[in-house]
Structure 1
Amino acid sequence: MNKQNSRYRWIVFAAVLFTYFLIVSQRTAPGLISDQLMKDFNLTAATIGLLTSIQFLAYAGLQIPVGIFSDRYGPNYFLIIGAVLNGIGTLIYSMAPNAFFLLLARLLAGIGDSTIWVNLVLILSQWFRVQEFVKLLGMAGMAGSLGFLMATVPYSAWISSFGWRAPFFSTGVILCLCGLMLYFVLVKRPKQLALTDSESGVKKAVRKKGQKRENTLLLLRRIFSSRQAWATFLCHFGLVGTYVGFIGSWAVPYGMHVYGMTRSGASQLIMVGLIGALIGAPLTSWISSRLDSLKRPYIIVHIIVCLSWIVFLIFGGKPPIYLLMILFLIIGYGNGASSLTFAVVRQSFPIQEVGVVSGFANTGGFISAVLLPSIFGKILDHFHAASISTGYRYGFMIPVMFTLLGLIGGLLIKGKRKEAEQTGEVTA
């Protein structure tokens, strides 16, 4: 039976998205306890920034290798291993006795996380037709936003009730069990149902065309010299990294220190941004379909998000609370809209290169997420003797500059029309 015609594909979809939902929650959940870690382990703001950065550094550094190997050997086992590694890292984090184990834990979590999105994209492309794929990619983006949402008020309430170690320990156990579940769903059960392909999608494509696989170095050289690949890299750098990097490390402390909020209150404020992210993926995809364009709506999103960060500078790092909520809603919307990056990849590159180019584009977002927390932390440390809002005011210059680079990426996207019957894609 063909995978793309089987009902079982919806079980695959649910299992993969649930795992992705949990893993995404662990990107930002540590940000809820930044101030607690500083007290418990006597850490500086720069060290807290490093904790976030090391996770995203591992993620960013492995995106291209993961894309290459997943294209070549298939995505199933990489997704399983990633879920287990993320679970183990979260368990170590929950039991860490000192800063070294905190860093080790976030490194393992980052390595595990690095396998998730690229392989999710490849698994969905194997199990679903092109017309379904575009819609489900938006749903996957929503699942990620729900993961971020869980790491606000619900996780904050859990931490307040039981301390910070128990929630991370429980989540680590569940993630390890998710790895076991994925083995049965992606590997064992499809074999029993005779749904397993003997070859990966890329191998089939190469064999069908009677071509040899392109040398990896030549492939990378061609991608690195591609304007379209760099455009997607910069787009993700500007939208994803600024949002994830700030939410994952400094958003809750910002609300507590600058506005005098409780941890729960700051989490509720950040939740507004996550609601924006939930709206961003499906709404922007719908708009781009109505306009028959990816580039135009994407450029508008980049402009609006960049202007939103500039507003923080205009108000000296402390805009009025009502405006703050609007700004986080818009910035969150931009993060959700970043799913258009992978729509551009899909419509611009051959299917056998989608994994590695997706990895390259995703690298941009998480290089930004690596740089922002550390630079932001160093700025806060530099202005520690001044008022707390002064440090944040200068810190907000970083996301402004990063989103300007994202806007440049949007402008660099080249329109490309393909036969709709063959690809089901829209024009950039």
Structure 2
Amino acid sequence: MENQNSKYRWVVFATILFTYLLIVSQRTAPGLISDQLMTEFSVTASTIGLLTSIQFLAYASLQIPIGILSDRFGPNVFLIVGTLLNGLGTLMYSAAPNESVLFLSRFLVGVGDATIWVNLVLILSIWFKVNEFVGLLGIAGMTGSLGFLVATVPFSAWISLTGWRAPFFTVGIILCLSAILLYLVLVLKPRKMDMNHFESKKSSKKLVQKREKTLVILSRIFSDRQAWAAFLCHFGAVGTYVGFIGSWAVPYGMNVYDMTRSHASQLIMIGLFGAIIGAPLTGWISSRIGSIKRPYIIIHMIIFVSWIAFVLFSGKPPYYMLIILFLLIGYGNGASALTFAIVRKSFDIREVGVVSGFANTGGFLSAVLLPSIFGRVLDHFQSAEISVGYHYGFVIPVIFSLIGLFGGFLIMEHRMPKAEVN
């Protein structure tokens, strides 16, 4: 395809990654102000957990519909509209006068966020060749981790300096401007360059005529062992990490270890360094040994053992171990990009969108469940020492990560050609 040989594809790649970084930062930035929201709006820990969950619930519930629609009609419009909704939701959050507006704003952010990853995968499939895909997917995963990193110390320092409303307002404005930039880069400029928009529009019309009915596709995917393996792997690797750092990680550091907000953010940042390394390094290892299953099972074992350590040390492991645990759990989250390598190599290109959406639903279903359940556990033990609530709360990610490990064993290995040794 013409666009796969164009230098302009790197402009597309950079623009999408910038937008992705901003959107990902808003998944976890609200976790920095959980305690402030509880005080300002007089709400309980359960309510804060639900506030985080509603964003991920919107995200998770829309993954399959977005995948189907993007496969059929192309990814550009969904990505642009989703970015705009994310920006508007963030603006509304910054000006929220009560908890009802907080819930509505996070729901809008979740709807916008739901469009980003599935369409990023599809756009990479359109603009780049198959042999470039896995490497670029690792870079995209690393960019997402950088987005999480932005939402730690830098964002925390900004909040400490100006209060929490101004930073969210500013990011909301930038996201709205990013939606305009995406339109210029993905739609307007390619039309002016006459890049056949990209043969894919013509070919997509042919594909639509040949497509099976949606229910037939869904039925086949829901009964496919490989699709469920991807779903469960993402459930265990992503939701445990995103759900925890997006809601309770900063309060955990402050309440259990008597850290300042900035110090607790630095602790999370260590995990994000692990995530930044995890995507490209694990992708490289996978390519070198010609296997996705083996490294992914090892990753899930590491995640599982790491969460067990929190329980074994009664919710308060030694500080040096805490650093190592966050680093390992973060690495596992970054390595979850392998989920989409499984999808890309196991399914027809016409089904990559919907299967990617299905797999991504797994990750964010656990991200929906974990903050809310964790908050209820904390509320249940609120009369006890604070570490007791966290001790029992950590049982939740242990169970979730065990489910992810099971998914790793379900993977049917599709052998990749081993990378040549230089």
Assess same fold via TM > 0.5: yes
- Choose the corresponding residue for 1:266, options 248, 255, 264: 264
- 1:118-157 CA distance string (max 9 Å, x none): 0000001111111111111100001100000000000000
Equivalent residues in 2 for 1:99-110 (5 A)? 99-110=99-110
How many Å separate the matches in 2 of 1:205 and 1:316? 59
Aligned to 1:396: 394
- Choose the corresponding residue for 1:360, options 334, 358, 376: 358
RMSD between superposed Cα atoms in Å: 1.5
- 1:248-272 CA distance string (max 9 Å, x none): 0000000000000000000000000
Aligned to 2:57: 57
How many Å separate the matches in 2 of 1:229 and 1:112? 24
Could you tell me which amino acid in structure 2 is paired with residue 339 of structure 1? A
- 1:9-54 CA distance string (max 9 Å, x none): 1110010000000000000000000000000000100000011000
Aligned to 2:382: 384
Aligned to 1:197: 198
How many Å separate the matches in 2 of 1:373 and 1:45? 10
Single out whichever of 190-199 and 333-342 deviates more from structure 2.
190-199
CA contact (8 A) 1:235 1:406 kept: yes
- Choose the corresponding residue for 1:255, options 253, 256, 274: 253
CA contact (8 A) 1:64 1:356 kept: yes
Q: CA deviation at 1:425?
A: 10
Seen in structure 2, the aligned counterparts of structure 1 residues 198 and 130 have a Cα distance that, compared at 3 Å, is closer
Could you tell me which amino acid in structure 1 is paired with residue 151 of structure 2? A
CA contact (8 A) 2:231 2:363 kept: yes
Equivalent residues in 2 for 1:164-313 (5 A)? 164-195=164-195, 196-197=197-198, 199-200=200-201, 203=204, 206=207, 212-313=210-311
So what's the TM-score if we normalise by structure 1?
0.96
Aligned to 1:127: 127
Q: CA deviation at 1:57?
A: 0.1
Aligned length: 419
- 1:44-98 CA distance string (max 9 Å, x none): 0000001100000000000000000000000001000010000000000000000
CA contact (8 A) 1:71 1:202 kept: no
How many Å separate the matches in 1 of 2:78 and 2:285? 34
Unaligned runs of 5+ in 1: none
Aligned to 1:316: 314
Aligned to 1:6: 6
CA contact (8 A) 2:378 2:389 kept: yes
Could you tell me which amino acid in structure 1 is paired with residue 381 of structure 2? F
Unaligned runs of 5+ in 2: none
How many Å separate the matches in 1 of 2:283 and 2:135? 8
How many Å separate the matches in 1 of 2:56 and 2:419? 31
Aligned to 1:160, what secondary structure does the other structure show? helix
Seen in structure 2, the aligned counterparts of structure 1 residues 59 and 169 have a Cα distance that, compared at 3 Å, is same
CA contact (8 A) 1:152 1:267 kept: yes
2:94 paired with 1:83: no
Q: CA deviation at 1:198?
A: 5.4
Could you tell me which amino acid in structure 2 is paired with residue 203 of structure 1? S
Single out whichever of 1-10 and 42-51 deviates more from structure 2.
1-10
CA contact (8 A) 1:202 1:352 kept: no
Could you tell me which amino acid in structure 1 is paired with residue 174 of structure 2? I
- 1:142-198 CA distance string (max 9 Å, x none): 110000000000000000000000000000000000000000000000000012125
- Choose the corresponding residue for 1:347, options 326, 345, 348: 345
Could you tell me which amino acid in structure 1 is paired with residue 6 of structure 2? S
CA contact (8 A) 1:72 1:200 kept: no
How many Å separate the matches in 2 of 1:298 and 1:159? 37
- Choose the corresponding residue for 1:373, options 366, 371, 374: 371
CA contact (8 A) 2:63 2:357 kept: yes
CA contact (8 A) 1:93 1:168 kept: yes
| Identity across matched positions, percent | 70
CA contact (8 A) 1:41 1:99 kept: yes
CA contact (8 A) 2:288 2:419 kept: no
Q: CA deviation at 1:290?
A: 1.4
Q: CA deviation at 1:206?
A: 3.0
CA contact (8 A) 1:37 1:43 kept: yes
How many Å separate the matches in 2 of 1:357 and 1:119? 12
Q: CA deviation at 1:322?
A: 0.5
- 1:302-329 CA distance string (max 9 Å, x none): 0011000000011000000000000000
Could you tell me which amino acid in structure 1 is paired with residue 239 of structure 2? G
Q: CA deviation at 1:417?
A: 3.7
How many Å separate the matches in 1 of 2:344 and 2:4? 18
Aligned to 2:408: 410
Seen in structure 2, the aligned counterparts of structure 1 residues 152 and 202 have a Cα distance that, compared at 3 Å, is farther
CA contact (8 A) 2:49 2:374 kept: yes
CA contact (8 A) 1:202 1:351 kept: no
Seen in structure 2, the aligned counterparts of structure 1 residues 314 and 205 have a Cα distance that, compared at 3 Å, is farther
Q: CA deviation at 1:202?
A: 6.8
Equivalent residues in 2 for 1:7-86 (5 A)? 7-86=7-86
Could you tell me which amino acid in structure 2 is paired with residue 213 of structure 1? R
